[in-house]
Chain A
C-alpha cells in the first residue's frame, strides 16, 4: 500500500512529533529543527544543520580528527600521518576506511599503518613537542622513502598548548625543505568530521601549495588535464571513475586523496579543471584553487548510469569537441552493459523503499543510482552536512521525503520502524541494529567491504549488492515458524 504525497507528509509529521516526545523539552526543541519533510519547490530541505550534537543522544557523528586523518589526509599514500596524542584515535581508524592504494606498504607507502606518538601522562604534563621532534627523526631513519609527514592532532594537543607548527617548520628545515604539515584537527573542534575536512583542506593550501611557490610541474601540461577531487577510492571508487575520464580523452593528473601522493597534490594547480565528487569534504580547496590559480571546478556524480551520463556531459562541456565526442563515445560504449544491469536487477528491486543516513555526498548522490533500479529513496539525512548540502539535495529528492539531520540512534530506529523500508543504507554502527529488526541493510560508507560503486563498473556491483541484501533468503527466517 503506497501513500499519497499528502498522506506521507502527514505521516512524517506524526512520526516526528512522536519521536520528539521522548526528549526533555529543551532537547525536543533543538532536535525538532533537524527533522522534517522535503516540500517541493523549497530551496532547501527545511532542516537546520551543522550544529552541535545534543549530548547523550547517541549521535552517529565523529570528530575533526576523523575528518582530517580519516578522510582527507589519511589516504595520501607516500606520506606518513602521525596520530599525535594518545593511542586510541589512530587505533580505531587504522585501515578501517578501505582507501585502496597501490604501493609497498611500510617502504614507499603507509596508508594502512598506524603511526602514533602514543601520549603518556608525562607528555600531557610536560608537553609533546620534544617527543614529536624525536618521532620525526625516527621516521626519517626507519622509513627513508617517505615523501612527507603530517601531524594529525588529537584532542590533548590543542589543550596543552603544544606548538606543532614550530616543530614542523624546524624539522622541515633540518630535512632540506621536506613537506611536514601540522594539522590542528583536535577532535573537540567544530561539531563533526566536517571542520576536520576544512582544516585539512586549509593545511594543504598553507603547507603544500604555498610552500611550492612557483616550482615548475614535473610533467608537461596538456589542455586536457583534470584532477579528481573528493574521491577517497573506497573499494577502488576513484579508479573506476578515473578510467572513464581517461577513456573520454581527459588526463587525470591527480587524485584527491584516494591512492593519492604528495606529488599529485602539488600537480593540481596545473589542472585545467577540477572535478569534484565529495563537495562536502573538498569544496574548500576547490574554491581556493579557483581564486588563486583560476582553475574552474565542477561537481559530478558517478553513481548510477543516469547521473554518470549527465556528469560526463557536464565535465565535457568544459572542453573542446574532441572531449565532448569522447564523452558520447564512452556513454554509448557502456549503454548496453548498463541496460543489461538494469534489465537484470530492476525487476527484482523496483518499488523497493530505501532509507539512507550517511556522510559526505552520499545522502543525495546515491539516490539516482537507486532510481535507475526503480527503487525509491523515502528518507535521507546527513551525518555532517551543511545547508548547502541540503540545498543540493532538493535536486535529488521527491516531494514528501523524510529528512533527518544528525539523526540520533533512537530517532533512526523509530523512523525505520514506522516507515518499514525494504533497505537501509547507513554505517557500521547502524548495520546490526537494523538487521536484528529484520531490515535488509548495506553499509554505505565502506560499501560493506564490496565496491567500487563509482562509475559504470561500480554500478553493476552496486546493483548486485542491493539485490543480495534485499533478496537475501535469511529475511524469511527471522520469525520462528511456531510463533
Chain B
C-alpha cells in the first residue's frame, strides 16, 4: 500500500487494499489451521436455531457477555458524587485502573480514584499497612475533604476489616481523627455495580447520620420541609441531575441531591484540571437526615440505602428509572405530595409538548417490537415508555436483575395490552439475548455499546441507551428523566427508525419509491 499524504488512510480502509487482503488469506490458509468455511457457516447457522437456544439457556455455570459490572465500580460512582471526595479502593491496584478507564471511556472525562495497591505480602499479612500509608498519601497529595473507602474482592477474600483499619490508620496519624473516611465493604462476588453503589451510598449517609463509626454522637433528627433525591447508578447522571435540579427549581422545592456527580463528570476545558467539582457538600449530607422525605429514582440501586433511610422516619418513594409521560407524571405527583408543592404550569406545558410529539410520531413506533437490556430499573423505565408509545418490549433482560425484578417486570407487562407477549429475563447475559434475537426476532434493540455485537450478528438495529456507551459521544449530557428527557429518548428511537427506513429503501430503481422526503 502506498499512502497518499493528501488523504492518509487508516484502519478503516487501509486493510481493504488488495495486498493486505491477500496477506490475510495466505496467513489464514498457511498458518492458522483454520476451520473450513463450510464448517464455520454450519455452526453459525446452528447458533441461530431453537435447538441452540435451548442448549444456550441450559447453561448454569458459564457467563458470556454479561451486562453488569462489579460492586466497586458502583462504589466509585457514588463516592465522586460528594464534594471533593476521593474514592479509595482497598485491594489490588489493577481494579482501580479498570474503573477509571471505564468511566473515562463513557463520560470522556477524567476519573480520579486511588488504590491501596495490595500485593502478595498484603495477601498473607492483610492490608493494614497499605491502608495506613495509602490514606496518608492520598490525603496529603490530593487534598480531599473526604475519602470514601470501598474494597476489591482481594481484600474481601482475605477478610480485611475496614472499620478497624481506618481506626488504626487514624491512630497512626494517616489522616486527622476528625477527617471523614466513610467506608463500605463492596465484594465483587456479590451483586453488581448497582449493589456497590447502594452499599457505598449507605456507608456515607450512615457515617454522617449515625455518629461516624462511633467516634461522635449520632445526629439528632430535626425534621424540616426539604426532600432528598438519589439518582442511583446512571450513565445519564450529567444530564439527568441537571434536569432534576431544573424541575425542582421550577417547583420551588428545598432539596438535597445525595451523590451528585453531574459536575465532576462534566468539567470545562478552560485550562484548569479540576479533580473535584461540585457534588453534595458534606454539610448537606449531614443535614439530609432532617429531610421530610427521600426519593430514589432507582429502587434496585438503593435497596439497603432506602431501608436505612426509612428507619430515620423519612417518607420514602422508590421509582424505577421513570421515563415517559405516565412515569414522569407519577414522579412529579409524588414529589408534589411529599413537598406540598404543586406541579407548575411550565412543566404542564412541557408535558403537553411531549404528548404532542408522541402524537406526531407514534405511527412510526406503534406495533414495533423491541428488545431491551440494561440495569433492572432502566429496563423498567424504558419498557414502560415503549408500551406508552404503543411498542412492544418483547425481550427485557437484566443480567443483574433478581427474581423479584422479573416479577415486577411481569406486572408491568400485564398493565398494558402492549405487554402481552413480552418476557423478562433475570440473570441472563447477552449471549442469551443473541439466541432470543435469532429465534424470536424484534425490530430494534435497546442497550449499551456492547449491543453492537448483537446488531452485527443478528441484524437488529441498536439504539444506544444505557451504560457504558463508549462508541457514541456526549449522549450522557442529555437527560432521559422528566418530560424533556423522555423527549430525548423519543427522538433517539425515532432517529434510528427513520435511519433504518431510509437504509431499507435506498436502492435506486428497486426500493427507492419509498425513499420518501417526508415521513
The yes or no answer to A159 lying at the interface (CB within 8 A) is yes
Q: Given A87-B68, A92-B98, verify A451-B10 contact (CB < 8 Å).
A: yes
Residues of A within 8 A of B303 (CB): none
Cβ A117 vs Cβ B43 within 8 A: no
The yes or no answer to B516 lying at the interface (CB within 8 A) is no
Cβ B273 vs Cβ A437 within 8 A: yes
The yes or no answer to A8 lying at the interface (CB within 8 A) is no
Give min CB distance, A148 to chain B, whole Å: 11
| 8 Å CB interface, B413-469 against A | 431, 434, 450, 453, 456-457
Cβ B98 vs Cβ A457 within 8 A: no
**A218 CA to B30 CA in the complex, in Å?**
8
Which of B43, B139, B189 has a CB less than 8 Å from the CB of A107?
B43
Q: Given A243-B23, A478-B271, verify A63-B94 contact (CB < 8 Å).
A: yes
Residues of B within 8 A of A112 (CB): 453
**A5 CA to B350 CA in the complex, in Å?**
65
Residues of A within 8 A of B61 (CB): 117, 131, 134-135, 138
- With both beta carbons as reference points, the residue of chain B lying nearest to A91 in the complex is identified as B69
Give min CB distance, B184 to chain A, whole Å: 16
- With both beta carbons as reference points, the residue of chain B lying nearest to A246 in the complex is identified as B23
Residues of B within 8 A of A65 (CB): 94
Cβ A341 vs Cβ B3 within 8 A: yes
Residues of A within 8 A of B35 (CB): 108, 145
The yes or no answer to B509 lying at the interface (CB within 8 A) is no
Cβ B40 vs Cβ A104 within 8 A: yes
The yes or no answer to A292 lying at the interface (CB within 8 A) is no
**A109 CA to B400 CA in the complex, in Å?**
27
Chain A 46-66 near chain B by CB (<8 Å), digits 1 or 0: 000000111111111111111
Q: Which of B115-123, B227-235, B253-261, B330-338 contacts A (4 or more CB under 8 A)?
A: B115-123
Q: Given A55-B116, A243-B19, A429-B100, verify A451-B11 contact (CB < 8 Å).
A: yes
The yes or no answer to A94 lying at the interface (CB within 8 A) is yes
- Of the four ranges (under 10, 10 to 19, 20 to 34, 35 or more), the interface on chain A belongs to 35 or more
Interface residues of B (CB under 8 A from A): 1-3, 5, 8-11, 14-15, 19-20, 23-24, 27-28, 30-35, 39-40, 43-44, 47, 52, 55-56, 59-66, 68-70, 72-73, 88, 91-95, 97-102, 104-105, 108-120, 122-123, 130-131, 133-142, 152-154, 157-158, 187-190, 192, 267-274, 431, 434, 450, 453, 456-457
Can you pick out 11 interface pairs between chain A and chain B where the beta carbons lie within 8 Å of each other? A22-B140, A27-B137, A58-B138, A78-B32, A88-B73, A118-B63, A142-B59, A155-B157, A253-B30, A436-B267, A464-B8
Interface residues of A (CB under 8 A from B): 22-24, 26-27, 52-66, 78, 85-89, 91-96, 100, 102, 104-108, 112-121, 123-124, 131, 134-135, 138-139, 141-142, 144-145, 147, 154-156, 158-160, 187-191, 193, 218-219, 235-236, 239-240, 242-243, 246, 252-255, 259, 261-264, 267, 334, 337, 340-341, 343-344, 408-410, 413, 427-429, 431-438, 450-452, 456-457, 460-461, 463-464, 474, 478-480
Given contacts A55-B130, A108-B34, A461-B8, 9 further A-B contacts (CB under 8 A): A24-B136, A58-B138, A61-B94, A88-B188, A114-B64, A155-B91, A235-B10, A239-B20, A436-B269
Nearest 8 CB-CB pairings of A with B:
A63-B94, A88-B70, A56-B134, A55-B134, A263-B33, A92-B98, A86-B188, A56-B137
